[in-house]
Structure 1
Amino acid sequence: MPPHVSADHPAAQPPGRGPVDALISQTRRLRGDVDAVRRDTQSDGSNPRERWQRALCDLALHQLNDLDEHLAQLRDGPSAASPAPAAAPADRAAAPASRTGALLSRVGSAEWNLLTDEASWSGELYQILGRDPAAAPLTLDELPALVLDEDRPMLTSMVTHCLVDAKPIDGEFRIVRPDGEVRTVHMMGEPVLDSDGSTASMWAVLRDVSELRRSQHALSETRDSLQRDRHHAQTEHRLAVELQEAVLPPWRGSLRLPHQGPRTLDLAARYLPSSTSALIGGDWYDALELANGDTLLSVGDLTGHGVAVTSGMATLLGAVRGMAMAGTQPGQLMSWLNQLLDATVQPALGSAVCCRYRPDTRTLTWAQAGHPAPLLFRDGTGHRLNAPDGVLLGATSGAVYAQAEESLRVGDLLLLHTDGLVPRHSRTDSVHRLLDLAPRFGGAHSAQDCVRLVVEEFGESERADDACVLVARVMS
């Protein structure tokens, strides 16, 4: 195709091959690096962030493919734009798989002479539009026949502004190829002015940007998906926090139970959130004065995170309170909790320890379901109570839970906790680290001071799961 000459700007000459070859080499090295990252991000498509990362890589690869082809055309000059020979019949069977790849963002050019009504197309433009290279190029009046109906006014407006008002062309429209495939074409052009300033012809470059727009659309969809997921996660977190705050005991600081009578427990508790997850778990603590003057103490953990788990925790805690108020002993209470979990629509596992303290005899009756046993601190030392038999809640139908009794003394301190309290340690190691606090507990003035010591020791640790701690101190 002859170079475009305007009255204002002479045709530019292509740069030397050396610098362009160096740019091509750099582009291809970068394309290889991006492709390696793209392969590393392959997944089953279920993770929105991974889909977004892959879409970004696809977009970058398309753009680097474009740059490679454009630099090659710049290096080889106008002769590279000659029409490509038609594929032989033997080659056409293998062509469909690679044809789309061959069309990725190719650039063609055209010139329409208004004085002679002649048109000149490059070979690349024939390929982009799916036209037979042997056919005559379409005139400006015939070109809209290739364009989708809804995009024709846009093309007509761009061409009119270029020819009448001498404005540059810059816009996109969709064309329908003879094989029925719809492609998106980006067109840029300028009027070529005659010596008297009138428009003599119009030239344009047309770029197939179908794959680029498809990648951008996929990127936009995954970005929107990520935003929806982020909003959903934030909403779920807020609901879980609100539900947890509504269910857990509202008291802060120390609490004395029972409210009436000379013999009381000094109580304090704390919920410690996970440091690595934004979702709220199913941990709970509870202290409740019962109708006959006894005190209910319980901690537990329902596996998982999120609103559903927090809702399940609320159900279990409500059941614990209701059955304890009805006089159910800890062992039977655990059996019925197990039946409750076993009957839920969504299978779940939980652990719990439930204690019933009788103040007139200072007797603690307790049962556990796959949960760390309470720790008893007395006279500056501590030990773990011997746990009665009990499997995880929801693990098996018809499980039977034993219960044990412990006689307490004035000054004794009872510590109940969930598994996540001491991060990255086994249950045995966690117990040893808690028992090491015995001398410090001996110097504490209240249950709240003891909870504060636990939080100072373990509260700032990198915690993979949330946790609860409850301390009860026998005052009289």
Structure 2
Amino acid sequence: MTWRRHPRSASADDLLTALGRLTERARKTAESQKARVELAEALQRSMLPTRLPAVPGLQVAARYAPARNGLDIGGDWYDGFLLPDGSLGLSIGDVQGHDVEAAAVMGQIRIGLRAVATATTDPGEILRRANDLLLSVDQGLFATCSFLRFDPATAVVESARAGHVPAVWASPGGCGLVEDETGVPLGIVPGESYPVVRRRLSRGAALVLVTDGVVEGPAYPIEAGLEAVSGLVGSAVGQGASAGELAAAVMGVAALTEHTDDAAVLVLMGADGRAAPG
């Protein structure tokens, strides 16, 4: 017996053609998204400092981790640079949104903070001017941010925050959240003011700042994340951990939250009178 293949109907051919087009479109979309993610990550990495300055009386360390799902990249940053009076300026923040646009705005804010800090070293004034600068370029995005100034002559930290996650303060005697008064995030309200808080960073004490990618996840509330960081920081400081060890340990909390956002950690730790690496 001879078997013959029945010809496909026109409708079947049309269906296969349409399926092929959809598959090709999906492939191109995936490739485009992958390219945008890779570009965003490259931008992010290139804009973060390769090292943080060392000043007497302070250990400083930082860590950054991209999003776990590889898509939400680009908005978080940390930075550190010397100010004209010899003190150290530090910032950490998170731009609304993700991908290339957020990475580009993050770079603008970071450069803007550095530029403003050449004219004033007051953290509240730096944030006020940076806020007005971000509004003037009309990017349509906002950012949370904390800016700090460490004076090596007095070991005093001056800080101001713009809607950013509270810091964690720890000393050998205890630890807790630093819920200082805050202004609204940068890029929302013109003329906003940012209160400045001053505290002395004694030897062995630590001030730890994070972005919400460290302490918040899809099923992990930010309160639980901050509690986990607070407990970890208190234990690490009590055991004499270095700033670098502490920064790495705090970043480990992000694994618990299963964060979908990128994440950054910045640690300041009081040291002896010599410049101390993180």
Find the aligned partners of 1:432 and 1:353 in 2 and give their Cα distance. Answer: 19
Q: How high is the TM-score relative to the length of structure 1?
A: 0.53
Find the aligned partners of 2:140 and 2:251 in 1 and give their Cα distance. Answer: 33
Residue in 2 that maps onto 1:286: 79
Q: How does 1:8-87 map to 2 (within 5 A)?
A: none
State the 1:207 CA deviation.
Answer: 6.2
| Counterpart contact for 2:81–2:89, Cα < 8 Å | yes
| Counterpart contact for 2:213–2:261, Cα < 8 Å | yes
Find the aligned partners of 2:249 and 2:134 in 1 and give their Cα distance. Answer: 35
Moved over 4 A (4+): 205-208
State the 1:465 CA deviation.
Answer: 1.2
Q: Give per-residue Cα distances to partners, 1:379-428, cap 9 Å, x unaligned.
A: 24112224133012222233222222122222211101111112334333
Moved more, 305-314 or 440-449: 440-449
Find the aligned partners of 2:194 and 2:236 in 1 and give their Cα distance. Answer: 34
Any idea what SS the aligned residue of 1:304 has? coil
- Structure 1 letter corresponding to 2:177: R
- Structure 1 letter corresponding to 2:61: A
State the 1:349 CA deviation.
Answer: 1.9
The answer as to 2:152 corresponding to 1:335 is no
The answer as to 2:18 corresponding to 1:218 is yes
- Structure 2 letter corresponding to 1:434: V
Residue in 1 that maps onto 2:45: 245
Find the aligned partners of 1:368 and 1:215 in 2 and give their Cα distance. Answer: 57
Residue in 1 that maps onto 2:142: 349
| Counterpart contact for 1:241–1:280, Cα < 8 Å | yes
Find the aligned partners of 1:236 and 1:207 in 2 and give their Cα distance. Answer: 41
- Structure 1 letter corresponding to 2:172: D
Q: Give per-residue Cα distances to partners, 1:146-204, cap 9 Å, x unaligned.
A: xxxxxxxxxxxxxxxxxxxxxx9xxxxxxxxxxxxxxxxxxx8xxxxxxxxxxxxxxxx
| Counterpart contact for 1:381–1:439, Cα < 8 Å | no
Q: Give per-residue Cα distances to partners, 1:99-147, cap 9 Å, x unaligned.
A: xxxxxxxxxxxxxxxxxxxxxxxxxxxxxxxxxxxxxxxxxxxxxxxxx
State the 1:470 CA deviation.
Answer: 0.8
| Counterpart contact for 2:204–2:240, Cα < 8 Å | no
Moved more, 299-308 or 334-343: 334-343
The two structures, once aligned, show a CA RMSD in angstroms of: 2.4
- Structure 2 letter corresponding to 1:435: S
Point out which structure has higher relative CO (alpha carbons under 8 A, 6+ apart). Answer: 2
| Counterpart contact for 2:157–2:200, Cα < 8 Å | yes
Residue in 2 that maps onto 1:316: 109
Gaps of 5+ in 1: 1-8, 13-167, 169-187, 189-204
State the 1:468 CA deviation.
Answer: 0.6
Q: Give per-residue Cα distances to partners, 1:422-466, cap 9 Å, x unaligned.
A: 233433333222111202222134111111222344446411211
| Counterpart contact for 1:380–1:441, Cα < 8 Å | no
State the 1:354 CA deviation.
Answer: 0.4
Find the aligned partners of 1:249 and 1:460 in 2 and give their Cα distance. Answer: 26
Residue in 2 that maps onto 1:368: 161
- Structure 2 letter corresponding to 1:222: L
State the 1:206 CA deviation.
Answer: 7.0
| Counterpart contact for 1:368–1:401, Cα < 8 Å | yes
Q: How high is the TM-score relative to the length of structure 2?
A: 0.87
| Counterpart contact for 1:240–1:306, Cα < 8 Å | yes
| Counterpart contact for 2:225–2:253, Cα < 8 Å | no
Residue in 1 that maps onto 2:215: 422
Find the aligned partners of 2:121 and 2:16 in 1 and give their Cα distance. Answer: 63
State the 1:351 CA deviation.
Answer: 0.4
Residue in 1 that maps onto 2:174: 381
Gaps of 5+ in 2: 273-278
The answer as to 2:246 corresponding to 1:450 is yes
Task: Pick one of 231, 253, 263 that aligns with 1:436.
Answer: 231
Distance 1:242-1:207 versus aligned 2 partners, 3 A rule: closer
Distance 1:380-1:434 versus aligned 2 partners, 3 A rule: farther
- Structure 2 letter corresponding to 1:231: E
| Counterpart contact for 2:166–2:177, Cα < 8 Å | yes
The answer as to 2:253 corresponding to 1:464 is no
Find the aligned partners of 2:199 and 2:8 in 1 and give their Cα distance. Answer: 83
| Counterpart contact for 1:272–1:459, Cα < 8 Å | no
The higher radius of gyration belongs to: 1
Any idea what SS the aligned residue of 2:146 has? strand
State the 1:305 CA deviation.
Answer: 1.2
Any idea what SS the aligned residue of 2:49 has? coil
Find the aligned partners of 1:321 and 1:220 in 2 and give their Cα distance. Answer: 52
Residue in 1 that maps onto 2:29: 229
State the 1:368 CA deviation.
Answer: 0.6
Distance 1:413-1:304 versus aligned 2 partners, 3 A rule: same
Distance 1:299-1:449 versus aligned 2 partners, 3 A rule: same
- Structure 1 letter corresponding to 2:57: T
